[in-house]
Amino acid sequence: MPFGQPAPASARHVLVLTRGCPIDPKEAAPYLSSMATLPIITLPNPLLRKRSAPVERIDAELGKLADDMLETMYAAPGVGLAAVQIGVPRRLIVVDTAKDEEPPAPLVLVNPEIVSLGSDLRMHEEGCLSIPDERIEIERPANLTVRYLDRNGKPQELAASGLLATVIQHEIDHLNGKLIIDYLSRLKRDIVIRRFKKLAKVGAGA
Ligand SMILES: [Zn+2]
């Protein structure tokens, strides 16, 4: 999910680089030089509609993938990213909803499962890094509890509200092949899809 306000890209990126460690200070240092931003796939790439498979092993390779996803998310800039958006259909998401003036608060959620949703609703104009320039007002539960494995494979449970709850639901939707355009009427959804198909054709030189 993209960052809400326009153009904080460079500031946010620098913040991450100068603070050095989006993850765990002990582990981040060796990775820093090798951390990479990865291309984000966009509509109409069919992979975005695939249901992601569970992560079966939490090892150094997965840690590297999570680091690269965080780097990619901060550079976008975004507040959430699912692995499938960089072409890896596994149940892994990264999130950071800290405001610019706050220290980074990266979260890595492996095999996340929502265990409860609150009854209050929250409306948010959501964007998606895989559907550039499209923003859609979506009403979702304002509070939730999510269970997941952290990057060390340790089971965690997190109670989230506000923007964090919205972003977690948006990213878990990605793991199930669901996109923000699915909250539109069929007619409006088809218009967006057509636009991106046309863009893809132009991009491919057709
Ligand atoms: Zn998205």
Whether residue 23 contacts residue 107, with contact meaning beta carbons closer than 8 Å, is answered with no
Q: Give the Å distance between the CA of 9 and the centre of ligand 1.
A: 17
CA angle 76, 80, 86 (to 5 degrees): 65
pTM above 0.75, yes or no: yes
Give catalytic residue positions.
171
Q: Give the Å distance between the CA of 151 and the centre of ligand 1.
A: 21
For 74, 181, 187, the CA distances from 106, given in Å and listed in that order, are 10, 26, 37
- What is the per-residue pLDDT for 115? 98
Q: Give the Å distance between the CA of 31 and the centre of ligand 1.
A: 26
Whether residue 105 contacts residue 119, with contact meaning beta carbons closer than 8 Å, is answered with no
Q: Which amino acid is at 4?
A: G
For 8, 160, 168, 175, the CA distances from 97, given in Å and listed in that order, are 13, 11, 10, 19
- What is the per-residue pLDDT for 206? 55
Q: Give the Å distance between the CA of 52 and the centre of ligand 1.
A: 14
Close Cβ partners of 123 (under 8 Å, ≥ 6 residues apart):
137, 138, 139
Determine how β-strand 121-126 pairs with β-strand 92-95.
unpaired
Q: pLDDT tens per residue, the chain (206 residues)?
A: 898 754 444 434 333 333 334 444 444 444 455 788 999 999 999 999 999 999 999 999 999 999 999 999 999 999 999 999 999 999 999 999 999 899 999 999 999 999 999 999 999 999 999 999 999 999 999 999 999 999 999 999 999 999 999 999 999 999 999 999 999 999 999 999 999 999 999 887 75
- Helix then strand count (H, E) for the chain reads 5, 7
Q: Give the Å distance between the CA of 72 and the centre of ligand 1.
A: 13
- Structure token pair of residue 191: 């218009």
- What is the per-residue pLDDT for 5? 53
Close Cβ partners of 61 (under 8 Å, ≥ 6 residues apart):
none
